[in-house]
Amino acid sequence: MPTASTALSTGHRIDETWIRRLPKAETHVHLEGNFELIDLLDLAKEAGEPLPGPAATLFDVTTHDASDGTGDLADFLRFLDWECGLIRTPEQAARHAYSFAARQTASGIGYTDAVINPTHWAAWSGRVPALFDALAAGLDEAEQDGLAEVQLCYSLLRQQSAGEAGEVVEWLATARPRRVVALSIDGDERSAGRVSARFAEAFTAAKDAGLRRTVHAGESSGPEGVWDAIRLLHAERIDHGVRAVEDPELLRYLAETQIPLGVCPRSNVVLGLYDDWSDHPLVALRDAGVNVTINTDDPAPLGTTLEADWAVCAETFGLTEDDLIGFARASIAASFAGDATKRALEAALPSSAASR
C-alpha cells in the first residue's frame, strides 16, 4: 500500500487533471447514486411525477444533524428509492447505464464494479431480469463507443428474507445475466441489525457458483459487521469497513489477509459518520497495513467525482503523487476485472510521479 511522504501543508497541491489521467478502477460506487440533477428533471417530466422538493435543494437529503453517528442515511436511502423509481422503460435504464459509463470515463476510471440493488427500482418489481438486460445493453453500447468497462454487483437489501436471497442467487447462477460478476448486500446496518447469518446460505451458494462477493459492512455498524461479512458471507472485499479501525484484532486480520476495503471518505463525512475529513481513518487503516481503496459511493447526490475526492484526500492527509499511484494500483488489484483488463491498466500506470 502507499505511504505518505511529503505533507501537502508545505504548499504542494495535486491537480485533478493529473489524477484523471491516472489509470485506475473504482470498486465501491452505486448505479443508484449517479443521477445528475438534469437526469432527474427529465425523468420526472417523462413520468409526470412532481419533484419531492425545490430543484435547487433536491440533493440536500445529504445534510446531517444526527447526534448518534447515523446522519441521514435512512432519508438518503429513501431518496434513492425515489430516483430509481423514475426509471420505467428499458430505454431509460440503458441510457442511465450508458451515462454512468460516460461519467466514469470522464474521471479517468478504466474499470468499475458498479453496485445495483433492484429493491430501489420499484417499477421493475417482478421483472428484474429485464432491468439487467437493459442495463447490460447500455453498458455494451458504452464499451463499443470506447467508454470504460463496467460490470455489475447484484446487491441484496439487508431487510430481505433468506428465501428471497436464495432465489436471487439461484437466478444469478442459472441465468448468468450479462455483466453481473458479484453478489453484494447493502442497506442501513444500524436499523437492520446483524443479519449476516440470514444470508450465509445464499452467499455460500454464490461462492460455489463462482460469483465474487463484496459486502457493505463496518459503516453504521461497528467492527462486528466486518467480522460477520468475512466469517459468514465469504466476503472477498468490504464496502466501507472503516470502523474496523476500532478493533486491533480485526486490523491485524485485514492486514494479514489483504481483504480490500472500498472506503468512501466523502460519503462517511456527509452522512455523519465522521465530523470532518481530518477525522476519517483512511490513513490509520493504511498505516496499519490494511488494503484500502478510495471511492465515491454515490457521487451525484454527494456532489463529487472520484478525482475530486482523491484530491481532497491528498490535501487532507498529506499524500503525494506517488501515494496516489499506489492507491490506483491498489484499486485495480481490488477490482473484479478480468486479468487482461487488470494487466492493461497496470501497464499504463507510471512507476513513480517522476516518470509521468
CATH number at residue 175: 3.20.20.140
Task: Give the chain's mean pLDDT.
Answer: 91
Q: Does residue 356 belong to any structural domain of this protein? A: no
- Write the pLDDT tens digit of every residue in 156-193: 999 999 999 999 999 999 999 999 999 999 988 777 77
**For residue 50, what are the CA distances in angstroms to 38, 41, 83, 95?**
14, 9, 12, 21
What is the mean pLDDT of the segment spanning 74-96? Answer: 91
| pLDDT tens-digit series, residues 30-69 | 999 999 999 999 999 999 999 988 999 888 865 444 444 4
pLDDT tops 80 at residue 148: yes
Does 59 fall in a domain?
yes
Give the C-alpha separation, 12 to 324, whole Å: 14
User: How many domains does the chain fold into?
Assistant: 1
Is 143 a known active-site residue? no
Task: Select which of 83, 219, 307, 321 is catalytic.
Answer: 219
List, for residues 236-293, the tens digit of each pLDDT value.
Answer: 999 999 999 999 999 999 999 999 999 999 999 998 899 999 999 999 999 999 999 9
Q: Is residue 13 part of a domain?
A: yes
Classify residue 1: in a domain, yes or no: no
Contact partners, residue 64, CB within 8 Å, separation at least 6: 71, 72, 270, 271, 272
**Rounded CA separation 239/30 (Å):** 11
Taking residue 318's Cβ as centre, other Cβ atoms within 10 Å add up to 17
Residues constituting the chain: 356
Q: Report if residue 45 sits inside a domain.
A: yes
Does some domain include residue 355? no
Residue 111 domain-assigned (yes or no)? yes
In a domain, 2, yes or no: no
Nearest to 139 by CA among 178, 171, 108: 178
Give the whole-number percent of the chain exceeding pLDDT 70. Answer: 92
**Domain range holding 215?**
8-350
